[in-house]
Chain A
Amino acid sequence: MKIGILQPVTGALAQDGEHGRLGAEIAIEEINAAGGIKSLGGARLSMVFGDARSNPEGGVAEVERMQAEGVVAIIGGFASPIALAASQAAARYDIPYVVDVGVSDQIVQRGLRNTFRFGPGFGTVTKAALDNLVAINEAAGRPARTVVIVHEDGLFGSGLARLLNAQLPERGFTVLETISHPTPSRDMSNVALRIRALNPDVLIPSSYYSEFVLLARTLHQQRIKPKAIYAVLNGAASNFRFVREFPEAANLIMDCNHWADPRKAKTAEVRAKAEATGRFWLYNIPLNYSCVRLVADAIERAGSTDRIRIIEALAASTFEDHIMPYGPTRFLNGQNQGAAPVNTQVQDRDIKVIFPRAFANATPIFPAV
């Protein structure tokens, strides 16, 4: 039984794509080792991998190839533009499509019945991020009032900055300035200079990995220390590579992002398998691992390779054998209603969960100075 795994493994997003693929591989291996799809006589899953080449056209081309190879479902996409285009292409053949990351809410607002998103979207993440920021601030006696937003100037960063600009004032924060930067950026010295001049209480960065690393290092070097660096869906603030390589620059940075559920025994097991391949534990791994398991569960219940029956099984899914902090799955118009982000903070050279309280393994350290 062929499962399409679509990830960008060349081009600008390759780091994310490689880790997404790894998560899917671990899940497929485990499912096969446990006897495959039992309702279909122990049918084994085999991966048809497609490289989306970090752009929507690449994603669509690979969907066409996967259709020709006869996949029963496709999982992945990573970036919003890729997930948007690829799920649309899959819709023409009624191929069930499960989006792994793609946070743009447009993805699940087009009425495509084949498209499901297991993780949370933009809106959900921003709301949770601001709820938690307010809670952290209240608990510390409201030391933070002013915010500077730094964001990459693409679809992801700009969209997020717009949401934040609309919602921060309602929550009692003053946005001093919104600074956008291109990807790739060669230098963050001037962004740091402006932050120094504005002297905000909280810095909210939303960038991809390299630019955020550059910014964090420059801030550290310039000894600019806001009361909090509070990232939203940031490429680096919950990335172990960054924490290992620059523990001082990364220290106490908070992030509201996808994250595996640390309470589940399975999480540690998957993490050990991923790290055994020499990779760092990025959220793409548990998300894709869980998505593959979600699809396998749907096929198991459908008891068929018929795409429509698998779509129906996904729509009715109550799957809970995943390693994300979501609870039982429930799709409404393709969006998993239980999906939620997690707040992390870099503490003691480790990434700790600080929200939700139900499974936090650390308390927020705020203000950082």
Chain B
Amino acid sequence: MYSPEILFAALLNGVMTGAIYALIAVGLTLVYGVLHIINFAHGAILTAAMFAVYGLHAAWRVDPYLALLPLTVGFFVLGYAVQQLIIGPASRGDDGNILLITLGLAIIIENALLAVFRSDTRSVDVPYAFSVVEIGGLLFSLPRLLAVAVVIAVALLLWLFLAYSRTGVAIRAVAKEKIGAELCGIDVARIYAVTFGLGAACLAIAGSLLMPTYLVNPRVGNAFVLVAFTIVVLGGMGSVPGALLGGLFIGVVESFSGLFMGESLGQIGIFLIFILVLLVRPTGLFGAKA
């Protein structure tokens, strides 16, 4: 049995990893909630965001945290444009096609990144990468703790936006009843694009938060998105608070099962929960009743 300090450290490690999972899952679940498709390009866009952070740092020494704001805006515009100019027209009104288009986009983005950046694993060297905060004799990574705070702030802002802004209300309306929303004069195509943009913006934030302590290569995004899928199902497909809490929960589960069963076997914890949720509560923790 491990000492209480180590258990506490594992708990906090889980929360820190889980916060990033949550942010990635929020983007995924938002797109699912509105467009009713799984965005297969999610992992590739995350990789692109991480390379963008890396590229800005390599070319002009832009700090990943300074890059956060412009990249969030940039990726929102990018996501908006991709939905409006590529996915929307190419789907020809059939939402089922969107799934295939995002799959195709994923392949194109990943291989474009491979061609430009080659296959090497890269990371950014920032002075605070190894900064730690001491809590009860244990050392915690400052950039990762900061990431938790940023994720909570982003989730709060997103929630406020969805709850109170006109666009937020329109997004919820389209998510609930697309045809009804259209009849009320809501521009569904624009809402689709805004939602896709928001999903991409979440990934830009996640990329900026990850890079000070993590690394990037053309395949890196998929490792996160597989877990994010699980979180989306756990939290309830389309539920933003579900994705947030689900992310933190999965992070902690992964951390403890890794500690007790070993990192390789620890992954089982995540997928056991995935199967349990599907069996017992297929709508997820916060999902609407089907």
**Which residues from chain A sit less than 8 Å from chain B, CB to CB?**
9-12, 14-15, 17-18, 153, 179-182, 184-187, 189-191, 193-194, 196-197, 209-210, 213-214, 217, 220-223, 241, 245-246, 248-249
Contacts and interface: CB of A to CB of B under 8 A. Distances in A.
A71 to B, nearest CB: 25
Given A15-B120, A209-B121, A249-B130, 20 more contacts: A15-B121, A18-B119, A184-B219, A187-B13, A189-B13, A190-B259, A190-B266, A193-B13, A197-B2, A197-B3, A214-B214, A214-B215, A217-B129, A221-B129, A222-B139, A223-B139, A241-B120, A241-B121, A246-B123, A246-B125
B50 to A, nearest CB: 13
28 contacts: A14-B114, A15-B118, A17-B119, A153-B264, A182-B264, A182-B267, A184-B220, A184-B223, A186-B224, A187-B13, A187-B255, A189-B9, A189-B17, A190-B13, A196-B6, A197-B6, A210-B217, A213-B121, A217-B213, A221-B129, A221-B132, A221-B141, A222-B139, A241-B121, A246-B123, A246-B125, A248-B130, A249-B130
Contacts of B267: 182
A182 B119 CA distance: 19
Q: Which 8 pairs across A and B sit closest by C-beta, in order of nearness?
A: A14-B119, A181-B263, A189-B13, A153-B264, A180-B264, A184-B223, A190-B258, A210-B121
Nearest to A223: B139
A190 B214 contact: no
A194 B255 CA distance: 12
Contacts of A246: 123, 125
B21 to A, nearest CB: 9
Interface residues of B, number: 39
Contacts of A193: 6, 9-10, 13, 259
B215 A18 contact: no
Contacts, number: 97
A194 B256 CA distance: 12
B132 to A, nearest CB: 6
B125 A186 contact: no
Contacts of B141: 189, 221
Contacts of A10: 111, 114, 119
A248 B125 CA distance: 12
B55 interface: no
A180 B119 contact: no
B263 A191 contact: yes
Contacts of A194: 259
Interface in B201-242: 213-215, 217-220, 223-224, 227
Contact of B130 (A18, A185, A186, A220): A220
Interface string B249-279: 0000001001100111011000000000000
Interface in B106-142: 111, 114, 118-121, 123, 125, 129-130, 132, 139, 141
A221 B133 CA distance: 11
B198 to A, nearest CB: 24
A18 to B, nearest CB: 6
B43 to A, nearest CB: 12
Nearest to A235: B121
A352 to B, nearest CB: 22
Nearest to B216: A210
Contacts of A182: 263-264, 267
Contacts of A213: 121, 123, 215
Nearest to A191: B263
Contacts of A15: 118-121, 217
B140 to A, nearest CB: 9
B6 A245 contact: no
A172 B122 CA distance: 39
